[in-house]
Structure 1
Amino acid sequence: MIPPAAAVLAAQTASAASRIALVTGANKGIGFYIALQLAMSGLFGRVILGCRDATRGEAAVSQIESHLSAMKPQSSASSTCVSFLPLTLGETQSHRALRETLEEQYGKLDVLVNNAAMAFKGADPTPHEEQCKPTLDVNFRGTVVLTEELLPLIRRGDDARIVNVASMAGRLSQIVSTDLRSKLSSPDLSMSSLQEYVDQYEKDVVDGTYRQKGWGGSNYGMSKLAVIAATRVWARDEAANGVKVNCCCPGYCDTDMTSHKGPRPPEEGAKNAVIPATMENVPTGQFFQNYEISDWLTS
């Protein structure tokens, strides 16, 4: 088991003062605590919160700055700068504007934590087939497009890493069809093929044939399964560029997304993302949950 304390160990070859981390969806919940813990780690010169709402984003920055100012002056974290940049996941122009700002101001990005996501509440009256596209557009397609937009900057990073916040809702076993499971977990899966499978799932949900064809019954679950599969694709494809790509399940946390029904405090759930973002000798292509590597293929 990887102890949570490992999440505060730096790769010694990187200069913390020059390292930049971006956390999407960081104004509240798990994303806020990921940003806070990265800032408190002392491993970054700047931690950026990417959020849709500027008022909430700036308020989150102020909260984190208060935590940092309360730390001992000699702490390396006390000199970490925290800032906000606007980001609406799934909007191409917003992605582009974010990348242009990062390029102009920093010229690189060392760590990207893809945390932003959405989920319909269980009591939402929107029909299942109408929930499908917006869920996939934000959680999977938006994450893919944003990451591809930022990859040129990440490749310039020091000890560059991507961490995708997924979920055990994305377990491979939700797919009934053994053929589909095999295709989605193939070590040779390409991003274009993965996108085609997700498009097919959406089509099958809309026409009502998804269960007969062996898909799972959850739009959110499929969106997170696709994020985990994308993690494995990027980990393979970016290995030559020195980028380590992992994903995690924070657990069922007490957040707005769960209507505060989750028993795990969000600051504890956040550690599952902070560990692969900061630990020494980080692996790549792995799924972290409960503070250790888990086997997505058998979960």
Structure 2
Amino acid sequence: MATKVAVVTGSNKGIGFAIVRGLCKRFDGVVYLTSRDTGRGKQAVADLEKEGLHPKYHQLDITNKQSVETFRDYIKSKYDGIDILVNNAAIAFKNAAPEPVSVQAEQTLFVNYFSLLSTCDILFPILKNGARVVNVSSSMGHLSKIPSEALRNRLKDEKLTIPELSGLMQQYVDAAKQGTHAAEWGNSSYAVSKVGVTALSNIQQRLLNDRDIKVNSVHPGYVDTDMSSHTGPLTIDEGASAPLFLALDAPDSVKGQYVWFNSKIVDWTSEKPEKE
């Protein structure tokens, strides 16, 4: 019988690390911890091995197509595909970051949206039938974070294509460079990037319905990590709970959904999400 394979991007620390830990405890197959920095990734594997867990390691930088292609070719040659893909790798500038909005917009969208998309483009062809994809979004990825009603209507349009969505994301970056973004898009590049991830997840599900592949986006909660400057009340294991629910436990009927840290499906298009 073919070996089952789970992959978590950006998983040498934080929520990604805890997702690997949870998968190692419960998933009937091999679990790949991946990271951009090899040293940090191998240290994370060593830390989990001290807990009696045995993830495998492979270098993976989602911003580098060659790195993703190398990883794809490795998985393809060693196994027959991927059963669980958790797209966790992301960046966030701190509130006090000195970089101008133009730089923050370009870099945040490049990593959190465009690099996630290119990673999916490269890895989706080796997803097995029945596979589950979990795209880590955020409460900031709720559609209500976009001030413009016209933009919200575009983003939730069920006929929106990935090239059209990417065009909208690029429009935001261009507007940020010109300083004209705030009225329509708001003031958070992170929010725009995660709205893009949630919208992308919905489109990906539509495109994959005929392959019995489930794609969902998830808000893992406000977690005590480097990204939150350790201000979140949840532990990383609590933050891994909803991603693990989607990867392992959710009924097959849960697809194309936006799920919050309490494993509840939230209406992405509602005026306001429930409280975090």
Query: Shorter-chain TM-score category?
Result: over 0.9
Task: Name the residue aligned to 1:200.
Answer: 171
Aligned length: 269
Q: Out of 167, 174, 177, which is 2:148 matched to?
A: 177
Task: Name the residue aligned to 1:292.
Answer: 264
Task: Name the residue aligned to 1:52.
Answer: 36
Q: Out of 226, 239, 242, which is 1:272 matched to?
A: 242
Q: Distance in 2 between matches of 1:262 and 1:36?
A: 20
Contact 2:58 2:71 in 1 (8 A): yes
Q: Distance in 2 between matches of 1:291 and 1:153?
A: 27
Task: Name the residue aligned to 2:207.
Answer: 237
Q: Deviations over 1:242-285 (max 9, x none)?
A: 11000101111100111111111111011110000001523100
Kindly state the Cα deviation for residue 50 of structure 1 after the two structures are TM-superposed: 1.4
Task: Name the residue aligned to 1:223.
Answer: 193
Q: Out of 47, 62, 66, which is 2:50 matched to?
A: 66
Task: Name the residue aligned to 1:10.
Answer: none
Task: Name the residue aligned to 2:123.
Answer: 150
Q: Percent identity?
A: 38
Unaligned runs of 5+ in 1: 1-14, 70-80
- Are residues 1:250 and 2:235 paired? no
Q: Distance in 2 between matches of 1:222 and 1:191?
A: 15
Q: Distance in 2 between matches of 1:241 and 1:170?
A: 26
Unaligned runs of 5+ in 2: none
Kindly state the Cα deviation for residue 188 of structure 1 after the two structures are TM-superposed: 1.1
* Partner SS for 2:52: helix
Q: Distance in 2 between matches of 1:120 and 1:83?
A: 30
Contact 1:161 1:243 in 2 (8 A): yes
Kindly state the Cα deviation for residue 223 of structure 1 after the two structures are TM-superposed: 0.3
Task: Name the residue aligned to 1:126.
Answer: 99
Q: Distance in 2 between matches of 1:132 and 1:201?
A: 8
What amino acid does structure 2 have at the position aligned with 1:225?
V
Contact 2:3 2:79 in 1 (8 A): no
Q: Distance in 2 between matches of 1:93 and 1:294?
A: 36
Q: Distance in 2 between matches of 1:226 and 1:38?
A: 26
Contact 1:165 1:250 in 2 (8 A): yes
Q: Distance in 1 between matches of 2:50 and 2:5?
A: 20
Q: Out of 184, 187, 191, which is 2:162 matched to?
A: 191
Task: Name the residue aligned to 1:32.
Answer: 17
Task: Name the residue aligned to 1:72.
Answer: none
* Partner SS for 1:117: coil
Mean alpha-carbon deviation: is it higher for 117-126 or for 222-231? Answer: 117-126
User: Comparing both chains, which one has the higher relative contact order based on Cα–Cα distances under 8 Å and sequence gaps of 6 or more?
Assistant: 1
What amino acid does structure 2 have at the position aligned with 1:49?
L
* Partner SS for 1:163: strand
Contact 1:58 1:84 in 2 (8 A): yes
Mean alpha-carbon deviation: is it higher for 26-35 or for 43-52? Answer: 43-52
RMSD in angstroms over aligned alpha carbons? 1.4
Q: Distance in 2 between matches of 1:252 and 1:263?
A: 6
Q: Distance in 2 between matches of 1:242 and 1:272?
A: 21
What amino acid does structure 2 have at the position aligned with 1:100?
D
* Partner SS for 1:47: strand
Kindly state the Cα deviation for residue 152 of structure 1 after the two structures are TM-superposed: 0.9
Normalised to the residue count of structure 2, the TM-score between the two structures is 0.94
Contact 2:86 2:135 in 1 (8 A): yes
Kindly state the Cα deviation for residue 47 of structure 1 after the two structures are TM-superposed: 0.1
Contact 1:21 1:44 in 2 (8 A): no
Contact 1:51 1:57 in 2 (8 A): yes
Q: Deviations over 1:143-174 (max 9, x none)?
A: 000011001111x25x2010001001112112
